Amino acid sequence: MPAVQRLIDTYLSLRVGPEETFLLVYRRVGAEPFKRALYPEQPVPSELPVATAREPVGAAELAGSASR
């Protein structure tokens, strides 16, 4: 199915009535449903894992990993 048709189908499924325009739906629900419609196999940025801070690596640890 072409991308534009997926966006239209998503819009039509989300609107509360025929008087609600695409822009009103987008402002109400945000971009997430439309991103899912376009990229169903890929995680949406808000679902991607967040990197956490690591402890600083000491010089001895670096030297040990270089010899492996």
pLDDT reported for residue 65: 56
Amino acid 38 reads: L
Neighbours of 38 (CB within 10 A): 14
For the chain, the domains span 1-47
Whole-model pTM: value is 0.58
* pLDDT value of residue 40: 78
In tens, the pLDDT along 1-56 reads: 799 999 999 999 999 999 999 999 999 999 999 999 998 776 556 655 555 556 55
Query: How many helical (H) and strand (E) elements, i.e. helices and strands, does the chain have?
Result: 4, 0
In this structure, the number of other CB atoms found within 10 A of the CB of residue 16 comes to 9
